[in-house]
Amino acid sequence: MKVTQAEIIISAVSEKQYPGEQIPEFALAGRSNVGKSSFINKMIQRKNLARTSSKPGKTQTLNFYKINDAFHFVDVPGYGYAKVSKKEREKWGHMLEEYFTKRKQLRAALLVTDIRHAPTKDDCIMYDFLLHYELPIIVIATKLDKIPKGKRQAHLKRTRETLGMRGEDPIIPFSSETGEGKDEAWRLLESYM
Ligand code: GTP
Ligand code: MG
């Protein structure tokens, strides 16, 4: 897809703030600092429309981005960041559950993992949480630029096995540095629109 338009619509914390527009939607999920916001930026060729940071916990709200008047990307706050109070974790859980339960226009969830490492326990919990909503789940194994080419297949296999992925769910090796995986990700997203 050629992106000609991309804008932030709203940073929402609850359902009444979600955009009413009935266009397809794709939500990002994943550990803090894994590269969810960077994924969005790379896909839409904007440097920092989705704000990124080298420190975890940058994205704190559900950020809705409208692309080409055709669909939304929803950037979601990450998990697994130690310096978060129990109260904040509860708020986060509530916000995610409300979103995934209520959002009818959601076409697929994109679970972003770090290709260098085996998925964490939290990643596995998130994958299982998403399964519950009977959505397609696309795993984006990012930071591909950080491992040697010869290790790719083994790392992808480990990600698939550790998450216990369903056979039909795709996994896309991706790099927000080099843009590798971008065309494949677009092809897949377009097939869900
Ligand atoms: P939260 O908003 O805290 O949940 O984090 P996030 O998942 O949105 O991560 P973000 O996109 O802010 O990226 C975190 C850090 O990882 C930044 O320093 C990025 O530059 C870096 N990063 C993200 N993707 C890649 C990638 O594909 N390759 C490399 N080398 N670095 C990446
Ligand atoms: Mg972010």
Instruction: Choose one of 38, 54, 60, 178 to mutate for the ligand 1 pocket test, by most ligand atoms within 8 angstroms of C-beta.
Output: 38
Domain that residue 103 falls in? 6-191
What is the interface pTM, i.e. ipTM, of the complex?
Answer: 0.99
* 36 found inside a domain: yes
CB of 41 closer than 6 angstroms to any ligand 1 atom? no
How much is the pLDDT for 26? 98
Protein residues near ligand 2, an ion, with CB under 5 A: 37, 58-59
* 132 found inside a domain: yes
Phi and psi angles of residue 67, each rounded to the nearest 5 degrees, phi first: -115, 125
CB of 78 closer than 6 angstroms to any ligand 1 atom? yes
**Average pLDDT for residues 73-88, to the nearest whole number?**
86
* 1 found inside a domain: no
Output DSSP code: residue 187: H
Using alpha carbons only, what angle is made at residue 109 by residues 142 and 193, rounded to the nearest 5 degrees? 110
Closest CA to 109 of 118, 122, 117, 99: 99
Counting from 1 in the atom list of ligand 1, the atom nearest the Cα of 34 is 7
Contact 75, 15 (CB under 8 A): no
CB of 56 closer than 6 angstroms to any ligand 1 atom? yes
CATH of the domain at 72: 3.40.50.300
What digits encode the pLDDT tens for the residues 117-139? 999 999 999 999 999 998 999 99
Q: Which residue has the higher pLDDT, 85 or 22?
A: 22
How much is the pLDDT for 70? 96
Number of domains in the chain: 1
pLDDT mean across residues, the chain: 94
What digits encode the pLDDT tens for the residues 18-63? 999 999 999 999 999 999 999 999 999 998 898 888 877 777 899 9
